[in-house]
């Protein structure tokens, strides 16, 4: 029994070493998002069969959910998407609305949701799901900080995604980024709609998407529109960035804002 365990550990160490040693020569299949500047930074588009992370503040969960749903649609439009949600995430942000899913141009029939009681179960379920190459992608959504999302867990998900070719998408709400083997890491917020009356400016969802980690290219920040009819990201016709909240500004700016408020 001990011999089998030693062999398994040696195999896992070898796989991890190959991920880390050959990451620069790894050439995954890529799918364009449709946003020219973002696709250029991504060397042609988002990598399939890889791990990608999306972070957001708690109040920005709807924007990040729409963004990650759009990524999943671009990656694999013809295969089912498995969305694994930590129970606490659903209590904090609400259930996924199929009416909203449909308004984004996505087919609710291709979405399968799984509720996990805790982070450990969610991670194990995600790793198991990534082994199923019938899926187009697997989303793991969690809320808040969690020590379970460490480098070891990230490596396991990366290996599983590469082994099957199924893309892993992590949605981390109200959490801070930590070390990982993710191909990309995004921070997403909603962006301003064009000025005018609500009935006049109603249109494509506007997203402030910041690429803060890109293993094979530069980082960047863009105001994107999600075109529901085409299911593609485009350059925003009205690109007005959203000011950072006091908690996310540099310390001097935050202190100045606090003094003015007082």
pLDDT in tens, 148-202: 999 999 999 999 999 999 999 999 999 999 999 999 999 999 998 766 555 555 5
Q: Give the span between the Cα atoms of 246 and 70, in whole angstroms.
A: 29
Whether 57 maps to a domain, the answer reads: yes
Between the alpha carbon of residue 48 and those of residues 51, 131, 147, 200, the distances in Å are 8, 14, 27, 38
Identify whether 22 is part of a domain. Answer: no
257 in a structural domain: yes
- Asked if residues 188 and 63 have their Cβ atoms less than 8 Å apart, the reply is yes
Say if 18 falls within a structural domain.
Answer: no
Residue 196 inside a domain? The answer is yes
Neighbour count for residue 4 (Cβ, 10 Å): 8
- Asked if the model's pLDDT at residue 213 lies above 90, the reply is yes
CATH number of 87's domain: 3.40.50.300
Q: How far is CA 231 from CA 86, 135, 208, in A?
A: 27, 19, 17
State how many domains the chain has.
1
Q: Which two tokens stand for residue 137?
A: 């992608």
DSSP symbols for 113-124 = EEEESSHHHHHH
Q: pLDDT tens across 236-262, in order?
A: 876 555 544 444 444 444 444 444 444
In a domain, 93, yes or no: yes
Q: Is 202 helix (H, G, I), strand (E, B) or coil?
A: coil
How long, in residues, is the chain? 262
- What residue numbers bound the domain in which 162 lies? 27-261
Does this model's pTM top 0.95?
A: no
Q: What is the pLDDT of residues 96-135, one digit of tens each?
A: 999 999 999 999 999 999 999 999 999 999 999 999 999 9
Residue 8 lies in a domain: no
Has residue 10 been placed in a domain? no
């Amino acid at each position: 029994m001990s011999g089998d365990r030693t062999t398994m550990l040696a195999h896992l160490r070898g796989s991890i070493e190959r991920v880390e040693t050959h990451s620069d020569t790894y050439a995954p299949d890529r799918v364009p998002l449709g946003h020219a500047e973002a696709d250029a930074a991504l060397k042609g588009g988002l990598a399939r069969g890889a791990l990608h992370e999306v972070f957001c503040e708690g109040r920005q969960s709807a924007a990040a959910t729409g963004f990650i749903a759009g990524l999943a649609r671009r990656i694999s439009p013809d295969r089912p998407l498995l969305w694994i949600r930590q129970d606490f995430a659903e209590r904090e942000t609400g259930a996924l609305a199929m009416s909203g899913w449909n308004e984004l141009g996505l087919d609710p029939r291709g979405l399968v949701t799984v509720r996990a009681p805790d982070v450990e179960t969610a991670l194990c379920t995600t790793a198991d799901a990534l082994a199923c190459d019938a899926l187009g992608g697997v989303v793991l959504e969690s809320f808040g900080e969690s020590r379970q999302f460490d480098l070891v867990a990230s490596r396991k998900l990366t290996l599983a995604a590469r082994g099957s070719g199924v893309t892993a998408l992590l949605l981390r709400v109200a959490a801070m980024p930590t070390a990982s083997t993710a191909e990309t890491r995004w921070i997403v917020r909603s962006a301003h709609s064009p000025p005018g009356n609500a009935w006049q400016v109603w249109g494509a969802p506007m997203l402030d998407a910041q690429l803060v980690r890109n293993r094979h290219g530069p980082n960047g920040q863009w105001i994107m529109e999600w075109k529901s009819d085409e299911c593609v990201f485009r350059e925003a016709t009205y690109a007005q960035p959203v000011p950072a909240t006091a908690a996310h500004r540099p310390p001097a700016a935050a202190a100045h804002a606090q003094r003015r408020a007082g």
